Amino acid sequence: MKLWVPVAAYMAVIFVLSSIPNPPTVPQPGSDKILHFLLYGGLAALVVRAAAGGLDRPVTIRTVIVAVIVSALYGATDELHQHFVPPRQMDAWDLAADSVGAAASALALYAAHAIRRE
């Protein structure tokens, strides 16, 4: 259970960041997608750690799927939350970046554990 505390704390940070009405703008168009990719990659890494029972435990495809689903669903709720924070808005491309970042991170941890087993 204690492994899920960092997941909840990280989700709370995302919620707070999403509550900022006018966040600082990023210098290049589309670079906010990189931020989404990285932010949700971090979330997925924490979910993998919690779902596996620690980073020293094997990461299975099931763990990867759980991490991607949890992260993507939280990304969807985050986009919905932004809809109610003027002048923020929902963006399907942000959700796509969230999901791709989560999948990349979870799969990277899966690959790292597979390589370590050999």
User: Other CB atoms closer than 10 Å to residue 3's CB: what's the count?
Assistant: 16
pLDDT band at 57 (very low <50, low <70, confident <90, very high): very high
pLDDT of residue 55: 87
DSSP 20: -
Q: What is the pTM of this model?
A: 0.94
CA atoms within a 13 Å half-sphere pointing along the CA-CB vector of 76: 5
Specify whether the CB–CB gap between 47 and 67 falls below 8 A: yes
Q: In this predicted model, what pLDDT tens digit does every residue of 14-44 receive, in sequence order?
A: 999 999 998 887 777 778 999 999 999 999 9
Mean pLDDT computed over every residue of the chain: 94
Domain boundaries, the chain: 2-117
